[in-house]
């Protein structure tokens, strides 16, 4: 494209105040072009880029900051650097293959995307009440463990960005206890694709509940250590208290949810407001505060970790009491006919499983082949399903045209909405406070860009 075809930024004087200070109106193009134009017109200001490759942006996020000395006068976000086309790709995969894509969006909270998608598919299929209770309880247990793991990363990376390396090492060490559980149950530390329409891929292995029980006291101990390191530390409080303030009115106007909204005093939590997966049957609280600053969000995330561990304990008791049972709907036109029985070499399905599938009947083999390669059909219609993600309300909008793959899949990722608050939280503050404000939002750019 030639220079004459390339859209460029422009900045021109629209009026002058009584003091003779020109006012600029910028449109289109890149901020670097706008800055050059302003400089040409004699406007003295500094526009700097923080990111997209920057250790304090929680991913590939570009922050465009206009500064006056150390004060931020304007802040904007530049996103899209991590776009992977996940929503579009899901239109070309079966409904069962959908979780393998959406689990990769917010890579710190994969179980929430998988569960939200599968709950939506189950609504379209009309099988919500047919999902086995054991599968539902397993989903809750994994989501709440995932919430703790996600909050630990938020706290750990936020502490590291302030120069407190011990907070980072303690947070990530605690998270390892949870990732070991995920690996034991799903075979993977992330990107699990374990939650499937109709249930979960397979039951938890023998000894998994004992592993969870043993891990919970360790995680609690690490949480207590983090509280001791941070909450009364005068340096930590000096950097966090009254920084990144966002009022309840601001949250409501921008559609902010999660810990940021609850730090402004509104106890909105999808698990309570619109329960799913039987959350109304669990005993837990929704912590809130009214300070609406970065420090209060750290306190809330720590408290939410304790509440999630309460829920995990209840799921362990329920799974122990109900014993072994089905973890996938009985309808063979939806359920994959295989439990993932691994061979002795750790590769592929076991010989016994292959013998059972191949030897039952030719019709069973054909059905298995068609179900795996073509997938099941979902009645035409659309559905919206939301869950309480670690960063706020995660919504999924699914549209079916009656085929074996989604006509449209769209996700309302909480990080995307929450990033709108960057300008409100940062403008008028110091450059160093931008790091704190972004850390308090805890955005994950895989979910933002999708």
Name the more confident of 323 and 385. Answer: 385
Quote the CA–CA distance of 61 and 44 in Å, as a whole number: 26
Look at residue 35 in the predicted model and tell me its pLDDT.
67
Beta bridge partners of 25: 12
Cis? peptide before 52, omega within 30° of 0: yes
Neighbours of 32 (CB within 10 A): 12
Summarised one tens digit per residue, pLDDT across range 295-317 is 999 999 999 999 999 999 999 99
3-state secondary structure of 148: helix
- Write out the two tokens for 181: 């559980």
CB of 267 within 8 A of CB of 286? yes
Domain positions in the chain: 10-78, 86-334+376-444
Under the banding of pLDDT at 50, 70 and 90, the label for residue 353 is low
Return the CATH superfamily for domain 86-334+376-444: Cytochrome-c3 Hydrogenase, chain B (1.10.645.10)
* pLDDT for 115 beyond 80: yes
Look at residue 3 in the predicted model and tell me its pLDDT.
41
Quote the CA–CA distance of 389 and 442 in Å, as a whole number: 12
Q: What is the pTM of this model?
A: 0.84
What are the φ/ψ torsions at residue 213 (nearest 5 degrees)? -60, -40
> Could you write out the DSSP letters of every residue in 79-139?
--TT---HHHHGGGS-TTTHHHHHTTSSTT-HHHHHHHHHHHHHHHHT-GGGS-HHHHHHH
> Looking at residues 196-222, what average pLDDT do you find?
90
> Looking at residues 126-147, what average pLDDT do you find?
92
CB of 63 within 8 A of CB of 77? yes
């Amino acid at each position: 494209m030639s220079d004459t075809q390339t859209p460029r930024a422009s900045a021109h004087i629209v009026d002058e105040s009584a003091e003779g200070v020109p006012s600029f109106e910028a449109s289109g193009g890149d901020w670097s072009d706008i800055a050059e134009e302003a400089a040409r017109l004699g406007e003295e200001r500094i526009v700097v880029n923080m990111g997209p490759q920057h250790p304090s942006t929680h991913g590939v996020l570009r922050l465009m900051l206009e500064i006056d000395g150390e004060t931020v006068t304007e802040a904007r976000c530049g996103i899209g650097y991590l776009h992977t086309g996940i929503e579009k790709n899901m239109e070309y995969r079966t409904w069962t293959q959908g979780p393998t894509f959406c689990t990769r969006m917010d890579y710190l909270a994969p179980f929430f995307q998988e569960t939200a998608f599968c709950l939506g598919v189950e609504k379209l299929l009309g099988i919500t009440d047919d999902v086995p209770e054991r599968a539902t309880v397993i989903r809750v247990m994994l989501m709440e463990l995932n919430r703790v793991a996600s909050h630990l990363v938020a706290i750990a990376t936020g502490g590291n960005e302030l120069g407190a390396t011990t907070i980072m090492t303690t947070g990530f060490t605690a998270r390892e206890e949870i990732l070991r559980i995920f690996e034991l149950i799903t075979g993977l530390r992330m990107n699990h694709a374990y939650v499937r329409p109709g249930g979960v891929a397979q039951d938890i292995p023998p000894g998994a509940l004992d592993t969870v029980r043993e891990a919970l006291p360790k995680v609690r101990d690490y949480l207590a250590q983090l509280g001791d390191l941070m909450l009364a530390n005068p340096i930590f409080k000096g950097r966090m208290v009254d920084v990144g303030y966002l009022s309840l009115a601001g949250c409501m106007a921008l559609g902010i949810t999660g810990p940021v909204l609850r730090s402004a005093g509104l106890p909105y939590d999808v698990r309570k407001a619109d329960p799913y997966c039987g959350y109304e049957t669990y005993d837990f609280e929704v912590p809130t505060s009214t300070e609406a600053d970065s420090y209060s969000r750290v306190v809330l995330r720590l408290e939410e970790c304790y509440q999630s561990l309460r829920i995990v304990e209840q799921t362990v008791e329920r799974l122990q009491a109900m014993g072994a049972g089905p973890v996938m709907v009985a309808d063979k036109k939806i359920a994959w006919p295989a439990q993932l029985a691994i061979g002795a070499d750790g590769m592929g399905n076991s010989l016994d499983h292959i013998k059972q599938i191949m030897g039952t009947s030719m019709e069973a083999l054909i059905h298995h082949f068609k179900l795996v390669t073509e997938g099941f059909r979902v009645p035409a219609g659309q559905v919206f399903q939301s869950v309480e993600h670690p960063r706020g309300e995660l919504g999924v909008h699914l549209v079916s045209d009656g085929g074996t793959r989604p006509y449209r899949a769209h996700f309302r990722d909480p990080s995307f909405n929450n990033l709108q608050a960057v300008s409100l939280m940062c403008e008028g503050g110091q450059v160093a406070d931008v790091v704190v404000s972004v850390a308090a939002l805890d955005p994950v750019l895989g979910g933002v860009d999708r």
